């Protein structure tokens, strides 16, 4: 019994630690109605198959247990937990429309949910909001092989869509770590960035059409597969990246490029951040149209991967293991010989001019995977080293890395940086501060690894890092969005008139504020 | 005297013909104030140099003549003519803000104007609106060579910007026939498409930031040069393509690609429209990342260019002069040898498989220009052949060309098609109906050449062509916008809930409706 209770104590203390991030979350708004058993028959009547479309723990004869509802109530990190007792899974746009109309009429708050893979608490309820899951809407509606335009239900999983397109010789112009779970509708709603953005650009350019249900149930049908259509305000753009606070995306038409037939990857070591910038500039010029990724990571990141990651067992370089910076460059094209020649010439020129200390070029698919793991393995390695504070920032490339030494210095000044860390001067709790990210998109991931989540670390970092971002005219959220986590900090990235206009738009499209409340943009 | 008066009669009858298109234009709204001499001192006090910033014909001591104001009142085709007596040319965003606040406070209607090169009457006043010209704001604010991001005043002429970027080894991801006059702010406000869109995508992807002044004078400062910035509703998207009815764009940040160092052009003849589609499909696959244009034109277009254009003197093909279809393909890349090899293999494969009858490949810059003139010379050649009805449509590629024979048949049925025209059966006024355009973007330009503008032709074509577009789920305006000309027909391209939402947005951002009234989207 004692062991058990200790375990319970440990669990609850861990939970309170995890909950810390949203301890000051907004209270439930009294303007929203509370649903009870009496409301269920009317709600159920919306669905052609209520047995599979309505999950609820309410009433004497609940159709689901709390365990059934947990995947909808809790985000995948287990960091955010809501308390919804009603999950609806409509099968058609018409049903989505009726659900929203029903909720709007009754002042019922709703959280639209895709694959629930977000990192900022935007896709789970905070209190008792109804969860509107798009997962039962996952059909491919149409693919036009000539133009490469594909129209799909918004609930299709990204990887399933990419697999389908691969059979057609095409590719989704978007790739994410969460591709096995995330849904295209959620990707569009959060304007997901990811790994292919340098090459194919943002969803604002690649989304050709959206079908959206407004909070009052009206359906905006903009699914035409047209690249050019200048007939009034481009409504779909309003919903791309607005995190489900203005409408629910039920259909997406995407322009999909032809799948590249050749891919190359190289990783190289560089003597300083100026060289990283020069190498990037040369890559844009010399690799031009075949450049598909330009990632970077610092010595501290590489040390982590070598200590804790898959790459632990082997050296990568003959003569560059101790370099302060590393870059990964990927090319994708339609002709392997041409791409090899371009990449070879590029690397040779970098070596000759001394911009690069040492480098390796993948010889086959396996080596491509191994080189990518040096970059992609960083977050996992960090997790093994301790508790990680993660910041996803957008900054002008030239100023991008300076945040890392500035942050180190700040932590050192306060005596929080352990001696083992770069610039460390004492026995502080912070083991390492490191930076890596999508250099080509100006997207820096800055991570801090500490022995535990500590208030004194957070207090030094959190106003300070947002202030630095504001000083450099950056963004406090490059690709993750605001959700619940960053909504209170948005003023570090947006000025007052912009925020005012966002609030006005929210109020105009969702006067009762029922859609994804408390997050991203609210009317007040 | 007689001669003179006859001339006047002729002039006025021509004028009424030209005015026909907007004969049913909306009357002046009584809600707008009329300005008089008394208002001028207060307006003038806004500007640091009123002598060059305020042109007016009002009062006893006017600062301008009607001739001075004509370039602002009349569009470049001479088709639309307004009656403004006040032109303002602010030099700073602050002055734009004060002008709009001043007008909004007094219910004064305003037309924002860039290079005034639009084709749908969107950039000139209809009645006595104040013209707000951005032409005095034309500085390059900042260029970052590393990322290729450039920030400029919105009044910079597109070609000037491209020339500046060429010196930096970069290129504007946008190219238009009007580049010598059009301004980047107008391009963004109308979401201009043009010739480089197949390669670089739309402005919704390439515009990284906008500075916009709202109708009440509030300034939305969104000029950060960030590729990734997910911090709330992406406000800039609202203004791209909304034709100046929601706000006035004063600054633009653009992502600019590295300028390609190699360009190739080929033109080939094809036996049918199926082959055109197959060739396009092959080009996307085989030319992949270097494909920068895929244009097409039909036999009637080629005949026109051969009869009236610069290409009149010479044959293009040994064995393809009488083909029903022609395609122009352009590649742009970073390595001439590689591009030559790819294009050569592509053309060889097309010839071998019989998809192409005959083709020519430019050997130098001069020949590149000559081949482009076969496609670009079509509108000019049409103008020499007679009066031209022009339609700029967006359609799914597979259905794109069918409108041309359908329209010919319709005109033939009504006995309007002259015997000389393809499918012609009588002595009707229509000399030819032809189609050409940006196949890669699904953008068809369909033109009708008649001996004169005739009501009976227009009546057969105009509801009919919009109905066909609606049937094929196309757009009545691919790249020209709605302006004054197409605003009444928008329902052929947008459904009622979409139009309703557009009107709501207009009402929300511009409650008094002062910005670019009567055009694109209005509150009622």
Q: Which residues of A touch B287 (CB under 8 A)?
A: 334
For every residue of B158-177, DSSP letters joined together read HHHHHHHHHHTTB--S---T
For residue A515, report the phi and psi dihedrals to the nearest 5 degrees: -90, 120
The two tokens of residue B402 are: 């069918």
**The pLDDT value given to residue A2:** 31
The per-residue pLDDT for B353 is 93
pLDDT of residue B426: 80
* In-domain check, residue B146: yes
Instruction: Tell me, yes or no, whether A146 and A108 share the same domain.
Output: no
Q: Do B281 and A394 touch (CB under 8 A)?
A: no
Residues in B closer than 8 angstroms to A227, CB to CB, are 197, 202, 394, 441-443
Same domain, B204 and B248: yes
Segments forming the whole domain that contains residue A114:
29-133
Do A187 and A207 have their domain in common? yes
- Are B271 and B373 part of one and the same domain? yes
- Pairing mode, if any, of strands A325-333 and A262-270? antiparallel
Predicted confidence (pLDDT) per residue in B397-440, tens digit: 888 899 999 999 999 999 999 988 888 778 899 999 999 989 88
Q: Is the pLDDT of residue B445 over 60?
A: yes
Query: Does B515 map to a domain?
Result: no
The answer to whether residue B9 is domain-embedded is no
**B213: phi then psi, degrees, rounded to nearest 5:** -100, 125
Q: Do B229 and B148 sit in the same domain of this protein?
A: yes
User: How many Å from the N-terminal Cα to the C-terminal Cα in chain A?
Assistant: 50
Band (pLDDT 50/70/90 cuts) for residue B2 is very low
B500: which chain A residues are within 8 Å (Cβ-Cβ)? 218
- B94 sits in which H/E element: helix B93-106
State the pLDDT at residue A254: 98
B218 with A486: Cβ contact below 8 A: no
Is residue A524 situated within a structural domain?
A: no
Q: Give the mutation candidate from B94, B208, B225, B227 for the A interface (greatest A CB count, under 10 A).
A: B227
Same domain for B443 and B416, yes or no, is yes
Closest approach of A41 to chain B, Cα-based (Å): 29
How far, in Å, CA of A79 to CA of B502, rounded? 38
Report CB contact under 8 Å: B475, A246: no
CATH number of the domain that residue B268 is part of: 3.30.70.2190
Helices (H) and strands (E) in chain A, counts: 18, 16
Regarding whether A190 and A99 lie in a shared domain, the answer is no
Q: Would the CB atoms of A502 and B146 count as touching at under 8 Å?
A: no
Give every residue of chain A whose pLDDT is below 50, as ranges.
1-23
Q: Which residue shows structure tokens 């301008």?
A: B64
Model confidence pLDDT, tens digit, residues B306-315: 988 666 567 8
Residues forming a β-bridge with A252: A152, A210
Cα-based distances in Å from B238 to A204, A232, B96: 11, 10, 19
Determine the distance in angstroms separating the CA of B338 from the nearest CA of chain A, rounded to an integer: 6
Kindly determine whether residue A204 and residue B477, on different chains, have CB atoms separated by under 8 Å.
no
A vs B: CB pairs below 8 A: 290
Do B204 and B168 lie in a common domain? yes
Cβ separation A228–B197 shorter than 8 A: yes
A3 assigned to some structural domain: no
Mutate to test the interface with B, among A227, A257, A349, A481 (most CBs of B within 10 A): A227
Best mutation site among A253, A289, A438, A493 for testing chain B: the one with the most B CBs within 10 Å? A289
- A234, B241: Cβ pair inside 8 Å? yes
Angle between helices A299-308 and A378-385 (to 10 degrees): 70
Q: Is residue A8 part of a domain?
A: no
Domain CATH for B411: 3.30.70.2740
Q: Which residue has the higher pLDDT, A320 or B84?
A: B84
Q: Is residue B172 part of a domain?
A: yes
| Together in a domain, B269 and B333 | yes
Express each pLDDT in B153-193 by its tens digit.
999 999 999 999 999 999 999 988 789 999 999 999 999 98
What residues of A are in contact with residue B231 (Cβ under 8 Å)? 475-477, 482, 486, 490, 493-494
Confidence of residue B220 (pLDDT cuts 50, 70, 90): very high
Residue B204 is predicted with a pLDDT of: 97
Do the Cβ atoms of B396 and A147 come within 8 Å?
Answer: yes
Tens-place pLDDT, residues B234-243: 999 999 999 9
Residue listed under structure tokens 């200590």: A307
Please indicate, yes or no, whether residues A283 and A372 belong to a single structural domain of this protein.
yes
The total of structural domains in chain B comes to 4
Q: What local confidence, expressed as pLDDT, does residue A7 receive?
A: 31
- Report the pLDDT value the prediction gives residue A20, as an integer from 0 to 100: 37
Which of A197, A222, A284 has the CB atom closest to B258's CB atom?
A284
Opening angle at CA B325, ends B323 and B329, nearest 5: 120
Lowest mean pLDDT among B18-32, B87-101, B204-218, B367-381: B18-32
A180-229 pLDDT, tens per residue?
A: 999 999 999 999 988 789 899 999 999 999 999 999 999 999 998 899 99
Per-residue pLDDT, A398: 84
- Say which of B229, B286, B332 has its CB closest to residue A394: B229
Residue A14 lies in a domain: no
pLDDT of residue A8: 34
Strand A325-333 relative to strand A291-298, pairing: antiparallel
| Alpha helices by DSSP H, A192-333 | 197-200, 203-206, 236-239, 273-286, 299-308
Q: Which among B289, B398, B481 has CB closest to A289?
A: B289
> Are B233 and B304 within one domain?
no
Per-residue model confidence (pLDDT) at position A486: 87
Which of B229, B236, B487, B520 to mutate to test binding with chain A, by most A CBs within 10 Å of its CB? B229
Report the phi/psi class of residue A517: left, alpha or beta, with left for phi > 0 and alpha for psi in -120 to 50.
beta
* Same domain as B412, residue B436: yes
Confidence of residue B24 (pLDDT cuts 50, 70, 90): low
Question: Given this model, what pLDDT does residue B8 score?
Answer: 34
């Amino acid at each position: 019994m004692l062991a058990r209770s200790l375990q319970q104590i440990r669990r609850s203390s861990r939970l309170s630690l995890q909950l810390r991030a949203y301890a000051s979350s907004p209270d439930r708004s009294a303007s929203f109605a509370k649903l009870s058993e009496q409301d269920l028959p009317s709600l159920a009547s919306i669905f052609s198959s209520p047995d599979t479309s309505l999950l609820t723990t309410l009433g004497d004869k609940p159709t689901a247990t709390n365990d059934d509802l947990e995947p909808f109530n809790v985000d995948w990190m287990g960091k955010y937990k809501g308390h919804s007792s009603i999950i609806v899974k409509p099968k058609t746009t018409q049903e989505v429309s009726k659900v929203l109309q029903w909720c709007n009429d009754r002042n019922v708050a709703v959280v639209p949910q895709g694959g629930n893979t977000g990192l900022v608490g935007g896709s789970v309820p905070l209190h008792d909001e109804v969860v509107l899951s798009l997962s039962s809407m996952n059909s491919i509606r149409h693919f036009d092989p000539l133009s490469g335009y594909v129209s799909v239900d918004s609930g299709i999983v990204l990887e399933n869509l990419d697999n389908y397109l691969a059979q057609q010789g095409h590719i989704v112009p978007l790739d994410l770590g969460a591709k096995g779970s995330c849904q295209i509708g959620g990707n569009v709603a959060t304007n997901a960035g990811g790994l292919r953005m340098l090459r194919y650009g943002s969803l604002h350019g690649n989304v050709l059409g959206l079908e959206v249900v407004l909070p009052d149930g009206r359906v905006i049908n903009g699914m035409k597969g047209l690249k050019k259509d200048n007939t009034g305000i481009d409504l779909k753009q309003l919903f791309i990246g607005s995190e489900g606070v203005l409408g629910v995306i039920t259909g997406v038409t995407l322009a999909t490029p032809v799948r590249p037939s050749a891919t190359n990857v190289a990783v190289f070591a560089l003597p300083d951040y100026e060289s990283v910038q020069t190498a990037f500039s040369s890559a844009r010029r010399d690799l031009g149209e075949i450049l598909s990724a330009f990632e970077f990571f610092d010595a501290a990141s590489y040390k982590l991967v070598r200590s804790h990651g898959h790459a632990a067992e082997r050296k990568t370089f003959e003569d560059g293991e101790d370099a302060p910076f590393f870059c990964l460059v990927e090319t994708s094209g339609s002709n392997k010989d041409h791409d090899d020649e371009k990449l070879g010439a590029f690397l040779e020129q970098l070596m000759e001019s001394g911009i690069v200390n040492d480098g390796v070029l993948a010889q086959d698919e396996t080596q491509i995977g191994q080189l990518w793991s040096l970059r992609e393995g960083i977050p996992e390695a960090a997790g093994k080293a301790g508790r990680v504070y993660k910041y996803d920032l957008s900054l002008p490339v030239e100023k991008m890395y300076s945040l890392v030494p500035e942050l180190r210095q700040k932590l050192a000044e306060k005596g929080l940086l352990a001696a083992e860390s770069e610039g460390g001067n004492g026995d502080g709790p912070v083991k390492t501060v490191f930076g890596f990210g999508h250099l080509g998109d100006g997207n820096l991931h800055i991570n801090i690894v500490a022995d535990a989540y500590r208030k004194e670390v957070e207090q030094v970092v959190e106003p300070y890092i947002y202030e630095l971002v504001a000083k450099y005219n950056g963004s406090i959220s490059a690709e993750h969005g605001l959700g619940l986590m960053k909504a209170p900090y948005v003023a570090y990235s947006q000025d007052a008139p912009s925020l005012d206009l966002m609030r006005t738009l929210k109020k105009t499209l969702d006067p009762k504020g029922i859609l994804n409340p408390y997050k991203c943009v609210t009317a007040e």
